[in-house]
Structure formats: structure tokens, C-alpha cells
Amino acid sequence: MIPRIASPSRTKEIIEANGFYFKKNFGQNFLIDSNILERIADCAGITENDCVLEIGPGIGSLTQVLAEHARKVIAVEIDDKLIPILAQTLKDYDNIKIVNQDVLKTDIAQLIAEENDGKPIKVVANLPYYITTPILMELLEKPNGIASLTVMVQREVAERMQAEAGSKDYGALSLCIQYHAAAKLDMIVPPSCFMPRPKVDSAVITLTILPEKSVSAQNEAFLFHIIRCAFSQRRKTLLNTLRNQGELSLSKEEILSCMAQAGLEENIRGERLSLADFAALSDALWICEKKKTNGTEAESRV
């Protein structure tokens, strides 16, 4: 068996031999616990039939484990200083393709078409904390053939992703994730498992893409506008946030009527609404807005 990259001594040796310096702007924290890496592959359900997309392979610690479980691994790395290191640490594997790109500027659908004949892939990643949400939204919101994402993120972010209505962690991120996927928090990972050590706990969470969106909405963009508005001032009632931040042309009475149609009480706060509640409310508001706009346009033509 090929020796593991993920140990404190081996990681330090590779870094020093290549004169590598961690870059804060890339959020680089390398995993040094091989047991955690094996558990990540297990949580992702990687089999010998799978093609895996890894984001941010670093020096190849997780890539190595994935390659030993999967048919193929495509590793997208933004830091060009790591490319020759990866070529060295992973030289014994013939089922790994390294792509030196920013994943946010990568055509994932095209990559899947070229590397996996367009069949669904699984994403596995130790995501930089500073850019976790943009990467997840990019992967979730575009129809690009992803079956699941198993990602290492900051613990509090993982808890927000799977939070339920009424909890302190529940917010716009919870709803956006749960609109696209079923979230399962797999494990908590302490700072001691990384080099350098982060200041907070991390967590591995698996997002299994839903075959259909968890709710339907007449206008998806408007739905998430209303969701973001509802959480922009958490301590205020939903009615007040909609009036102050919703950018609606509706009167207080019209908003209240829409809330009533959605089965919501006048004094409810946004954090109490489920995703289905938000969908019902956004549909009612959207229809009312369209009627009012169409009526104003008709009057202007008279």
C-alpha cells in the first residue's frame, strides 16, 4: 500500500521540501488525519464506479484516499504553486486528473461531459471557509450533473445548512440548501486534524441533490428575495421586514392579505416559516404584485 500523505510528519516534509507557504487568501488548511479522510470517503458513499470532483486538493491528502475508492478523481486546484507538488505526491495513481482553475470560473457541466460522459458525479471537498457559500451556490443552482456534495466546512455553517424553522441557526442559507438538497451532518472535526490549525471546529456535511426542488414557486428568484428579506431583520415581524425591505409596491393591508392566504399570522417572524410557508407567501405576493402592476399599466394607457 502506498504510504499516506495525511500525517503531520509527511505533510510537513512535503511542504518544506517544496518551499511551500500557506496562503491565507486561499483559506488553505490541510488535513493530516488519515482516519478522517477515510470517513469522508465513506460518508460520500464513494465506490469503484464513481467519478469524483474534488475542489481544492491541496497537496493531495484527500485526493489519494478518493483515488483508492473511486474509478476517477478530477481535482480542481486554484493555486498554481500546488500543481507540481500534486504531480509528485500523486504520481503513483493513474485515475486522477488535476485541473489548475478557479472552480467558480470552471464550466462544471462541460467538465462532467468530458470526463464522465455526462453521467452524474459526486463532489467531495475541504472548502475554504471564506468562500464556502459562493461555491456551494454555484454548484447547487446550476443544472450541472452533480448527484451529491460531501464537504468540509466551518461547523457553524454546517449547522446552519441543516437547521430547522424556529432554531437560532435557521436562516436564508438553511432554506437555500434545503430547497436543492437533503442535508445530513456527518461528523465534527476538531482543529487538531489540520495543518495549520483553524481557530474553530469544522464539520463534514453531505448534501444529496433532490430529483425535484423541495417546493415549487411561481418565481424562484422572487421566492429567495422574500426569504432574504425576512431574515434581514430577524427581530422584527415578517410584516415589518416585508414593508421595509421587500421592495414591494403593496400596501400594508395587501401584504396582510397575502400572509393570510398563506396561513400566516400577522405578528409572525420570518424564522418561524418553513420553506413551504415561504413558497406559499411568495406566490401570493407575486400574484398580487403582478395584478397591481398590470392594473397600473392598464390605467396609464387609458
pLDDT in tens, 189-218: 999 999 999 999 999 999 999 999 999 999
Tell me if 257 sits within 8 A of 288, measured CB to CB.
Answer: yes
Identify the architecture of domain 8-209 in CATH.
3-Layer(aba) Sandwich (3.40)
Q: Determine the CATH number of domain 220-301.
A: 1.10.8.100
Q: What is the pLDDT of residue 234?
A: 86
Q: What is the pLDDT of residue 270?
A: 96
Average pLDDT, the chain: 93
Over residues 57-85, mean pLDDT = 97
CA distance 147 to 120: 5
Does the pLDDT value for residue 29 go beyond 60?
yes
Residue spans of beta strands (DSSP E) within the chain: 30-31, 51-55, 72-76, 96-99, 121-126, 146-154, 181-189, 194-195, 202-209
CA-to-CA separations, 32 to 73, 195, 244, 259, 287, in angstroms, rounded: 20, 7, 49, 51, 54
134 confidence band (pLDDT: 50, 70, 90):
very high
Q: What are the boundaries of each domain within the chain?
A: 8-209, 220-301
Q: What is the pLDDT of residue 23?
A: 78
Q: What is the pLDDT of residue 297?
A: 42
174-185 pLDDT tens trace: 999 999 999 999
Residues ≥6 apart with Cβ < 8 Å to 5: 11, 14, 59, 60, 61, 64, 89
Does the pLDDT value for residue 302 go beyond 60?
no
38 confidence band (pLDDT: 50, 70, 90):
very high
At 287, is the secondary structure helix, strand, or coil? Answer: helix
Over residues 294-298, mean pLDDT = 53
